[in-house]
Amino acid sequence: MRFPRLIILLAALLALAGCSGQRSVTVIKLAHGLDQSHPVHLAMAYFGERLAAKSGGTMRVDLYSGAQLGSERECVELLQLGGLGMTKVSSSGLEGFAPEFRVFGLPYLFRDDAHRWAALNGPVGQEVLLSAEKRFLRGLCYYDAGTRNFYTVNRRVEKPADLAGLKIRIQESQIALRMVRALGAAATPIAFAELYTALQQGVVDGAENNPPSFHLSRHYELCKYYILDEHTAVPDVLLISTHLWNNFTPQQKNWVQEAADESAVRQRELWGGATEAALAAVRKAGVEIIAPDKAPFRDRVAAMQADVAREQPMIGALARRIEEVRP
C-alpha cells in the first residue's frame, strides 16, 4: 500500500511543478444574439484568433452565440456588473445606456457607404463609440450591419401608406419607435430572439432588419415580403466591460484593440457577399423582394428628424457633424 501512495504523491508534485512553469490564460467570454454563420459572428471568431495569436496564447475568447447567455439588453447589463467580459449589440440597443447612440437610429443619416465609414471611423464615430465608458461599457469597434429594411408577413408594401395600421417589431429604441410611427405603423419593442414566435403568433405583422439577419433568423419562413427601403444603417458595436478592460496591462489592451480593429476590417469584407447570398436565399424560398422608390419614405420621416434634432440638441449636433463629414 505504501508504495503506490508514494507514486501518487510524486506524480502530484510533478504535476504541480509542471503547472508552475505554465503561463496562465486570460479567458474572455463574448456573448451575442446572432447565428453562428452570420458574418458578424465570423468576425468575432476572427477577433478570437487574432487575439490568441498576438498574445502568444495567453488570451483566449470563448464565444456564445444565439442569445445563449441572454438578450442584448441582458448581456449589456452583465457587462456593467462584471459578470460577462464582452458582447456585441446593435447601436439601437445602447440608446438606453448612452443616448449618443441614438444618432445612428436616424433614418437616411448616411449618404452612402463611403460617407458612413468615414463618419464611423472618424472623430464623431469614435466619440460615440466611447460614450458609454462611464457606464462600464467600452466600445472597441463597429461592425457593418448594412441597411435595415421592412418585412411583413402578408402585406405588400411599396409606399409608406401601405404600412398603415401594421404592427412592426422594433429594437428597444425610442428613435425607431418615432420613425415607425412617422411612417404610419404601430411599433412594438421585442427582443430579437423572441421575434420568430411573435411573428408566428401574430403579435406583430412585420419587422425590419438587414438581409443576413432576416435570413439567418429564419423570419423569411413567416414573412413573404422584404421591402428594400433602406431606412436606417445602424451599426453593430463590439463592447468590453470596463471591469475587465481596466485590469488589463497596457500590452493586453493593445492586443485586444488591434484584434478588434482587424476583425472589423475582415467583417466589412464579408458583409457584401453575405448580403447578396441572404437575398438570393430568401428569394429562392419564395420571398418577394420589393425595391420601392425611397423618396416617399424619406419625406415621411423628415419632420420627425427635425423634431428629434430640436428636442434633443446633443443628437441634433451629432447628426450635423455626421452630415458635414466628407469622405
Backbone conformation region of residue 225, classed left if phi is above 0, alpha if psi is from -120 to 50, else beta: beta
Q: Please identify, using beta-carbon distances, which residue of 213 and 263 lies nearer to ligand GCU.
A: 213
Q: Yes or no: say if 38 and 145 are a contact pair by the CB < 8 Å rule.
A: no
Q: Does residue 240 belong to the site contacting ligand GCU (CB under 6 A)?
A: no
Q: Which of 55, 65, 87, 90 binds ligand GCU (CB under 6 A)?
A: 90
List 142, 192, 226, 297, residue binding ligand GCU (CB under 6 A): 192
Helix (H) or strand (E) holding 247: none
What is the greatest pairwise CA distance in the chain? 88
Asked whether position 33 contacts ligand GCU by CB under 6 A, the answer is yes
Q: Which is nearer to ligand GCU, 43 or 51 (CB)?
A: 43
- Smallest gap, in angstroms, from Cβ of residue 14 to ligand GCU? 48
Judged by CB, which is closer to ligand GCU: 252, or 275? 275
209 lies in the binding site for ligand GCU (CB under 6 A)? yes
Which of positions 61-80 make contact with ligand GCU (CB under 6 A)? 72
For 93-122, the DSSP string reads GGTTT-GGGGGGGSTT--SSHHHHHHHHHS
Strand (E) positions, the chain?
Answer: 26-31, 59-64, 86-90, 137-143, 148-152, 167-170, 186-189, 206-209, 225-232, 236-241, 288-290
Q: What is the nearest approach in angstroms of ligand GCU to the Cβ of residue 326?
A: 28
Q: How far is the CB of 206 from ligand GCU (least distance, A)?
A: 12
Q: Is the dihedral of CA 238, 136, 192, 294 positive or negative?
A: negative
**Which of 46, 236, 278, 318 lies at the binding interface for ligand GCU (CB under 6 A)?**
236
Select 152 or 210, whichever has its Cβ closest to ligand GCU: 210
d(CA 183, CA 193): 25
Q: Binding of ligand GCU at residue 230 (CB under 6 A)?
A: no
Contact region with ligand GCU (CB under 6 A), list: 45-53, 111-119, 209-217, 305-313: 209-217
30 belongs to the binding site for ligand GCU (CB under 6 A): no
**CB 97 within 8 Å of CB 62:** no
Stretch that binds ligand GCU, among 128-136, 205-213, 255-263, 304-312 (CB under 6 A): 205-213
| Number of amino acids touching ligand GCU (CB under 6 A) | 12
Smaller CB separation from ligand GCU, 54 or 116? 116
Pair 170, 180: CB distance under 8 Å = yes
- Site residues for ligand GCU, window 112-141 (CB under 6 A)? none
* Nearest one of 44, 95, 42, 50 to 72, comparing CA atoms: 95
Sign of CA dihedral 138, 142, 145, 148: positive
Kindly state whether residue 147 participates in binding ligand GCU, applying the rule CB under 6 A.
Answer: no
Buried b / exposed e over 229-267, threshold 16 CB at 10 Å, is: bbbbbbbbbbbbbbebbeebeeebeebbeebbebbbebb
Using CB under 6 A as the binding rule, whether residue 145 contacts ligand GCU is answered as yes
Footprint of ligand GCU on 260-319 (CB under 6 A): none
Q: Which of 43, 61, 78, 89 binds ligand GCU (CB under 6 A)?
A: 89
Contact present, 157 and 130 (Cβ < 8 Å):
no
Question: Which of the ranges 133-141, 207-215, 270-278, 319-327 carries the binding residues for ligand GCU, by CB under 6 A?
Answer: 207-215
* Binding residues for ligand GCU (CB under 6 A): 33, 40, 72, 89-90, 145, 171, 192, 209-210, 213, 236
